[in-house]
Amino acid sequence: MMKAIITGSTGMLGKGVLLECIDDPMVEQVLLINRRTIGISHPKVKEIVHADFTDFSAIKKQLDGYDACFHCMGVSSAGMSEEKFTEITYTMSKALASVLYSINPNMVFNYISGSGTDSEEKSSTMWARVKGKTENMILNMGFKDAYMFRPGAILPERGTKSNTKLYNTLYVITRPLFPLMKRMKSVTTTIKIGRAMINLYNYPQSLKHLEGGDINKVASIK
């Protein structure tokens, strides 16, 4: 049995992961940490509405006793300064990872990154460099295990929607192509990301950076 913390459940990926956790009998309890309430009521689910993601000290005691963290919170870098994107992507992730590691170093920490992320932190592309820095910080934190999800194309399922209007428009336009796109190894779905996150707790993998095809492979483990 597993108790999991999920961030970003008000977004498409986080909600997709949450729905899979609710349905999985091996997931005993889910704690959501959000800046605004998601409005889901379920016996498995608890929610903490927390405004300041750069400091989790006020809720530290409530984070104790969990086996995994599915860190799905993130934003698009479009139109955003490097300073602001770094604060949301790196600084907030470090604050979360640090407090969770101080409570339970035996936790499995999964992070939604992105295809094209630069592990060397030298890319001329700002977001790739910042996400690479974030990945390295989490991997070097010392957790029992940690995985960096680097999905490319992600198809929404089970009614999940992106918080980015442009993406939702693109999903509406391309929806007739979804069945064909699902056959592509590089394309994954919100369901598969959720399944992969749960499976990595029970079936550890040597590969720590998971691209779309890797995510789908782990999601299929039964």
Alpha carbons 210 and 115: distance in angstroms, whole number? 9
- Domain of residue 139: give its range: 2-219
pLDDT at 173 over 80: no
Alpha-carbon distances, residue 96 vs 56, 92, 169 (angstroms): 7, 6, 32
Q: Is 157 exposed, middle or buried (0-12, 13-18, 19+ CB in 10 A)?
A: middle
pLDDT at 168 over 80: no
54: helix, strand or coil: coil
What is the overall mean pLDDT for the chain?
Answer: 92
The pLDDT of residue 113? 97
Tally the domains of the chain: 1
pLDDT one-digit tens code per residue, 58-108: 999 999 999 999 999 998 888 899 999 999 999 999 999 999 999 999 999
Identify the CATH number of the domain in which residue 196 sits: 3.40.50.720
Alpha carbons 218 and 198: distance in angstroms, whole number? 9
CB 21 within 8 A of CB 199: no
Token reading at 178: 């979804």
Alpha-carbon distances, residue 123 vs 24, 90, 133, 221 (angstroms): 39, 16, 11, 34
Q: What is the pTM of this model?
A: 0.92
Q: What is the DSSP letter of 157?
A: -
201 Cβ contact partners less than 8 Å away, ≥ 6 residues apart: 2, 4, 67, 68, 108
Q: What is the DSSP letter of 96?
A: H
